[in-house]
């Protein structure tokens, strides 16, 4: 089984790495319905960065639904956005009998030693949503974050008439998602010479942190016309900080297309969000794990389309 996987790994490792960046301890464990001892294919550990962010809840739910469908024993681990916790969980996966590990890294660099240890133990690793730096992964499944960042730049420029000062709220430092979305936005905004990024600061993909960061940045830059947040949670924090300015004198663009983000678009406080498909990301990760368990060759990379959501096409996404 592993020999066939290893051939795919050798072919896809460089591409997967280049696309990468990028409950405490083991208390956040869950098993997919339909899994457990009745699953005949072997245990799959899914190490999530967090389950407090709605995006990753949807990713988890998609994985669990697919695991039930395919009769895969899925063990969910929640790192609560702590890299050290996730490293411990990945190390424990090796000793707990995992046949495949799916990782959504808290930090694309911090998990590298643990992923290398899994490589040495001949346990295939699948990266989902965020990549792993300088280690081998059997498959990398993620949205095209660079393209999404460019789309966000276009949406923001359109919202403010292609001129004015803007602020960028960055995600978790070291995560490939933050890096790629930021790079895409920088590339895209170059097409609009009359738009100036006057401030950038991390808010860790967190709504509460974004409220504080956006409050301070807007006070320091009172003439700002727009905010790009690298996820919807931070966009929602920025909206709270802006108060009545959100959607009127200051436009906000987010990323993820979460339920709360779509509601903000409907209300008019958020101009646009770059919608991902987190449930599909989770399902595809489990599908690739099942392929490996069955002795097949996983796909080295699987890109999942992102779409700019505004009021004009909101009805296609709002459930």
Break the chain into its structural domains and give their ranges: 2-142+278-303, 145-276+310-316
Task: Report the distance separating Cα 218 and Cα 15, nearest Å.
Answer: 39
Residue of higher predicted confidence among 38 and 57:
57
Q: Which two tokens mark 88?
A: 């411990």
Q: What is the rounded average pLDDT of the residues 71-88?
A: 97
Residue 231: which of 211, 252, 213, 205 has the closest Cα? 205
Q: Provide the CATH topology of domain 145-276+310-316.
A: Rossmann fold (3.40.50)
CB atoms closer than 10 angstroms to residue 26? 15
Residue 176 confidence (pLDDT):
85
Residue 305 confidence (pLDDT):
86
At residue 4, does pLDDT exceed 60?
no
Residue 99: which of 282, 290, 300, 285 has the closest Cα? 290
Q: What is the rounded average pLDDT of the residues 189-195?
A: 98
Q: Provide the CATH topology of domain 2-142+278-303.
A: Rossmann fold (3.40.50)
Confidence of residue 42 (pLDDT cuts 50, 70, 90): confident
Percentage, residues of the chain above pLDDT 90:
81
At residue 225, does pLDDT exceed 60?
yes
Burial 46-56 (b: 16+ CB within 10 A, else e): bbbbbbebbbb
Q: What is the rounded average pLDDT of the residues 260-265?
A: 97
Does 145-276+310-316 match 2-142+278-303 at the fold level? yes
């Amino acid at each position: 089984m592993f020999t066939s996987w290893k051939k795919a790994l050798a072919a896809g490792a460089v591409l997967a790495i280049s696309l990468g960046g990028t409950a405490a301890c083991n208390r956040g464990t869950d098993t997919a319905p339909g899994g457990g001892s009745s699953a005949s294919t072997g245990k799959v550990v899914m190490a999530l960065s967090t389950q407090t962010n709605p995006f990753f809840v949807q990713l988890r739910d998609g994985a669990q639904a697919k695991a039930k469908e395919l009769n895969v024993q899925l063990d969910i681990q929640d790192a609560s956005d702590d890299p050290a916790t996730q490293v411990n969980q990945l190390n424990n996966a090796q000793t707990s009998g995992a046949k495949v590990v799916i990782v959504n890294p808290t930090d694309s660099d911090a998990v590298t030693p643990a992923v290398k240890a899994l490589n040495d133990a001949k346990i295939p690793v699948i990266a989902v949503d965020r990549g792993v730096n300088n280690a081998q992964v059997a498959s990398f499944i993620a949205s095209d974050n660079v393209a999404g960042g460019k789309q966000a730049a276009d949406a923001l420029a359109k919202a403010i008439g292609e001129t004015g000062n803007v602020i960028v709220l960055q995600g978790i430092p070291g995560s490939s998602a933050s890096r790629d979305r930021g790079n895409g936005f920088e590339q895209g905004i170059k097409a609009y010479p009359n738009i100036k990024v006057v401030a950038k600061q991390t808010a860790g993909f967190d709504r509460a942190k974004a409220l504080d960061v956006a409050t301070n940045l807007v006070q320091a830059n009172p003439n700002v016309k727009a905010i790009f947040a690298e996820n919807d949670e931070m966009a929602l924090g920025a909206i709270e900080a802006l108060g009545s300015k959100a959607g009127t004198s200051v436009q906000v663009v987010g990323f993820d297309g979460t339920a709360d983000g779509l509601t903000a678009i409907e209300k008019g406080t958020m101009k646009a969000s770059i919608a991902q498909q987190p449930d599909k990301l989770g399902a595809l990760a489990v599908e690739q794990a099942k392929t490996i368990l069955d002795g097949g060759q996983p796909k080295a990379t699987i890109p999942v389309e992102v779409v700019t959501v505004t009021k004009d096409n909101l009805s296609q996404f709002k459930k």
